[in-house]
Structure 1
């Protein structure tokens, strides 16, 4: 197909305005990196499903009990209310099929004391997510700062921080947590009871898990510090703090965010493991790991007591992992 000819018989060249008008009169708009990542994330149905579950669990944890809400009181008994009249005195198992499941007790009742499992699952979600989120924030804050400092300055600074990472990575974290939490008194640092135990668990998980994210941030910083925009900032006389916090950190948000979403389920499992071993949150406060500990003795007479908190942990960890994988793919600039 030949181009149109003018009066003199020579080919005419279309003007840019004509091309735009011919395309419908709409100007071509570029997309930001955030818009591109969101478009990729929306195509990942598994990641969206994981995000929905994470949002629902977070809302449940926030509004489970007063003062923020009261979902537990709205749907049933409080987590520590016994229902001895619904327990068989001969077997200590809940009366009725499927562990005493009913409209009033949708997940059934605990053996022996008859506490509502649904209410305790909601209350346990608060503990699991609170510990996981706070510990992740501590790990990310320490690891990101030390990782970017080690990668940017290099030399003896990098050597000291790297050896510190190796020491923390070789530390037997689970044994240390069991020893520390088990030796914690009932009151210290202005806290007491489960509040003190939660604070100690958050400190142990957050303070000893930072080397994992620090290694990732250090590797990313080593490649970023040789990029053109860092050289341009140096040539303009920018200070080191300006380069680190204004130039490098915005480019490190994506890997930090992805690793944080993958670290949260690990922290949930760690807290559940401590509660399962009896050194986590103490009774009568509900926790998913503590419920599994008590369920071991009744797995034959009341299997629902083990299945429900186990599924709660499984679904929560799976949702965070799906969301983390989806964010990793969406924020990867090499993905299509």
Structure 2
């Protein structure tokens, strides 16, 4: 019996006894820990990793960057590849039909997008310069609506009660307001010189005010809903228990947690503003000709339906810009809020 027990013991695996050969040395454990140290990632780094994996969103971001570069360096691009946007080239126009003499609208290496009917202006140059007006109005209007909507949305959601009721009813009034009719009426009433501004500067400022001031309820309602949820969280209760006042809680506790939805909705609001500016220019109440805008070019092209290239290129510019912002906005939403997919 004793020999059987000894045999069973000898067949079992040896135990790690302190000081034995099977126990790993402390220096080896520490060296391995140094080589495989785990590095933490911030929420911004995690969101950036998710966004980089979304190839469609990154393609939209690249297109947006290219459009911004084109808008900023429009004079340089036109000098290299086109002609001044207000320069006439009547020699390329058939005066009897007012359409380009050459086939395909006069598209050539000298005129990449061809020439306009009647006047013979370079369509490429006008599309490039039109990007400056459209993007400038869209960005400024989005900034204005985001600031107003975020401020009133946070105030309504945090304080509640009568303040929430008053701001919410104001949102309902603005959402029910016929914005397009008001824009047409206001643009027609304002004179050529007002508020110390004139010309294109006045028209751009007027469009930014109309689009931005009357579109803030859309982002305001989203911010209000998020604030109503955040104000019940533990970190807000902890800040109140430590004696923090309302301005501190709003700016240091609530707003940092609202950055993601604000950025997401702002990127989705920009293409809407681009389309609205194009619609106003198409109706003749935007920036006045001969200043080139995408909507204004489409309005002029409507009279020359037999010359399709005239409407094709500004229409493609609007389509590509809106699509790029929408794709990037969707990807940004998935990266910052993956649970909402």
Q: Calculate the TM-score normalised by the size of structure 1.
A: 0.93
Would you say 1:297 and 2:303 are equivalent positions? yes
Q: CA deviation at 1:56?
A: 0.7
**1:278 aligned residue:** 284
| C-alpha contact 1:75 1:104 (8 A) present in aligned 2 | yes
| C-alpha contact 2:17 2:23 (8 A) present in aligned 1 | no
**SS of equivalent to 1:103:** coil
Would you say 1:84 and 2:90 are equivalent positions? yes
| C-alpha contact 1:100 1:108 (8 A) present in aligned 2 | yes
- Say if 1:141 and 1:227 are closer, same or farther in 2 by CA, change over 3 A: same
Match of 2:249 among 239, 243, 252: 243
CA-to-aligned-CA distance 1:230-272 (integer Å, 9 cap, x gap): 1111111111101001111010000000000000000000000
Match of 2:115 among 109, 112, 115: 109
Structure 1 ranges of 4+ moved more than 4 A: 12-24
**1:147 aligned residue:** 153
Q: CA deviation at 1:335?
A: 6.6
Q: CA deviation at 1:96?
A: 1.4
Would you say 1:97 and 2:103 are equivalent positions? yes
**1:197 aligned residue:** 203
**2:59 aligned residue:** 49
**2:171 aligned residue:** 165
Would you say 1:62 and 2:72 are equivalent positions? yes
- Say if 1:169 and 1:114 are closer, same or farther in 2 by CA, change over 3 A: same
Distance 1:278 1:16 in 2: 80
| C-alpha contact 1:41 1:330 (8 A) present in aligned 2 | yes
- Say if 1:86 and 1:15 are closer, same or farther in 2 by CA, change over 3 A: farther
Q: CA deviation at 1:74?
A: 2.3
Distance 2:27 2:293 in 1: 66
**SS of equivalent to 1:269:** helix
Would you say 1:121 and 2:103 are equivalent positions? no
Match of 1:323 among 299, 318, 328: 328
Match of 1:183 among 189, 205, 213: 189
**SS of equivalent to 2:248:** helix
**1:26 aligned residue:** 36
CA-to-aligned-CA distance 1:99-129 (integer Å, 9 cap, x gap): 1011111011000000000000011000000
- Say if 1:84 and 1:160 are closer, same or farther in 2 by CA, change over 3 A: same
| C-alpha contact 1:81 1:115 (8 A) present in aligned 2 | yes
**SS of equivalent to 1:242:** helix
Distance 2:328 2:24 in 1: 48
**Which residues of structure 1 form unaligned runs of 5+?**
none
**SS of equivalent to 2:35:** coil
Distance 1:218 1:176 in 2: 26
**2:136 aligned residue:** 130
- Say if 1:252 and 1:17 are closer, same or farther in 2 by CA, change over 3 A: farther
Would you say 1:288 and 2:294 are equivalent positions? yes
Q: CA deviation at 1:20?
A: 6.8
Q: CA deviation at 1:7?
A: 3.5
How well do the aligned residues superpose, as a CA RMSD in angstroms?
A: 2.2
Q: CA deviation at 1:333?
A: 4.7
| C-alpha contact 1:276 1:292 (8 A) present in aligned 2 | yes
- Say if 1:127 and 1:47 are closer, same or farther in 2 by CA, change over 3 A: same
Distance 1:14 1:4 in 2: 14
**1:38 aligned residue:** 48
Q: CA deviation at 1:326?
A: 0.4
**SS of equivalent to 2:94:** coil
Distance 1:263 1:55 in 2: 17
| C-alpha contact 1:20 1:26 (8 A) present in aligned 2 | no
